[in-house]
Structure 1
Amino acid sequence: MQTSTIDSNEAAAIQAVRDSVAVCDRSHWGRIQVSDDDRIRFLHNQTTNNFQSLQPGQGCDTVFVTSTARTIDLTTAYVIEDSVLLLVSPSRRQQLIQLMDRYIFFSDKVQLKDVTEDTATFSLIGPGSDALIEKLGAGAIIGQPYASHQLFEDVRVAVGSGLATSGYTLILSSANREKLWEKIVEAGAVPMSDRVWEHLRIEQGRPAPDFELTEDYNPLEAGLWQTISFEKGCYIGQETIARLNTYKGVKQHLWGVRLSAPVEPGSVITVGEEKVGKLTSYTETEQGSFGLAYIRTKAGGEGLKVQVGESQGELINVPFVTHDYV
Structure 2
Amino acid sequence: MQKSPLRAVHESAGARLRPEEAGGQVITYGDVPAEYAAGTQEGALLLDVTTRGLLTVMGKDARDFLHRILANDIKGLTSGQGNRNLLLTGKGKIVSMFDLCCLGQGFLLSTPPGQAGPLRDALDMYLFTEDVTLADETEAHAPIEIVGPGAAEIIESVLPDFDPTSDTPHTFQFVPFHLDDSDDSDAAAMTKVTPMLVAGRSGFRLETEPEHVAELWRVLQEFGATPGGLVAYDSLRAESVAGEFGRDITDDVYPQEARLEDAFSLTKGCYIGQEVVAKIDTYGGLNKRLFRLRVSHDDPVAPGTRILRSIDGESRDLGVVTTWAYSFEADGGVVLGYLKRKHQEPGTEFLLGETGATAVLQD
TM-score for both structures, normalised by structure 1: 0.90
For residue 351 of structure 2, what is the aligned residue in structure 1?
307
For residue 34 of structure 1, what is the aligned residue in structure 2?
57
Answer yes or no: is 1:171 the counterpart of 2:215: no
Q: CA shift at 1:16, angstroms?
A: 0.5
Please give the residue correspondences for 1:175-214 in structure 2 after superposition, counting only pairs within 5 Å: 175-214=211-250
Note the alpha carbon deviations across 1:12-62, whole angstroms, 9 max, x for none: 211100121111121101111111112122222222111111111111111
Please give the residue correspondences for 1:47-126 in structure 2 after superposition, counting only pairs within 5 Å: 47-105=70-128, 107-126=129-148
Q: CA shift at 1:277, angstroms?
A: 1.0
Q: CA shift at 1:206, angstroms?
A: 2.0
Q: CA shift at 1:141, angstroms?
A: 4.1
Q: Are the counterparts in 2 of residues 91 and 209 from structure 1 also a CA contact under 8 Å?
A: no
Q: Per the alignment, in what secondary structure is the counterpart of residue 275 of structure 1?
A: strand
Q: CA shift at 1:311, angstroms?
A: 1.2
CA distance in 2, matches of 1:316, 1:46: 36
CA distance in 2, matches of 1:149, 1:83: 15
CA distance in 1, matches of 2:318, 2:34: 37
CA-based RMSD of the aligned residues comes to: 2.0
Match of 2:169 among 146, 150, 155: 146
For residue 230 of structure 1, what is the aligned residue in structure 2?
266
Match of 1:134 among 156, 174, 186: 156
Q: Are the counterparts in 2 of residues 202 and 283 from structure 1 also a CA contact under 8 Å?
A: yes
Answer yes or no: is 1:260 the counterpart of 2:306: no
Q: Are the counterparts in 2 of residues 141 and 150 from structure 1 also a CA contact under 8 Å?
A: no
- In the alignment, residue 52 of structure 2 is paired with which amino acid? W
Higher relative contact order (CA 8 A, sep 6+): 1
User: Greater Rg, structure 1 or structure 2?
Assistant: 2
Please give the residue correspondences for 1:2-13 in structure 2 after superposition, counting only pairs within 5 Å: 8-13=30-35
Once the two structures are overlaid, the 10-residue window that deviates more, 191-200 or 273-282, is 191-200
Q: Are the counterparts in 1 of residues 170 and 195 from structure 2 also a CA contact under 8 Å?
A: yes
CA distance in 1, matches of 2:148, 2:52: 20
TM-score for both structures, normalised by structure 2: 0.81
Once the two structures are overlaid, the 10-residue window that deviates more, 307-316 or 194-203, is 194-203
CA distance in 1, matches of 2:115, 2:285: 28
Q: Per the alignment, in what secondary structure is the counterpart of residue 28 of structure 1?
A: coil
Q: Are the counterparts in 1 of residues 62 and 105 from structure 2 also a CA contact under 8 Å?
A: no
Q: CA shift at 1:189, angstroms?
A: 0.6
Percent identity (aligned)? 26
How many pairs does the alignment contain? Answer: 314
CA 161–216 in structure 1, closer or farther in 2 if over 3 Å, else same: closer
For residue 324 of structure 1, what is the aligned residue in structure 2?
none
- In the alignment, residue 358 of structure 2 is paired with which amino acid? Q
Q: Are the counterparts in 2 of residues 141 and 159 from structure 1 also a CA contact under 8 Å?
A: no
Q: Are the counterparts in 1 of residues 197 and 204 from structure 2 also a CA contact under 8 Å?
A: yes
Q: Are the counterparts in 1 of residues 238 and 327 from structure 2 also a CA contact under 8 Å?
A: no
Gaps spanning 5+ residues in structure 2: where? 1-21, 177-189
- In the alignment, residue 136 of structure 2 is paired with which amino acid? D
Gaps spanning 5+ residues in structure 1: where? 318-326
Q: Per the alignment, in what secondary structure is the counterpart of residue 170 of structure 1?
A: strand
Q: Per the alignment, in what secondary structure is the counterpart of residue 324 of structure 2?
A: strand
Answer yes or no: is 1:15 the counterpart of 2:59: no
Q: Are the counterparts in 1 of residues 146 and 198 from structure 2 also a CA contact under 8 Å?
A: no
For residue 44 of structure 1, what is the aligned residue in structure 2?
67
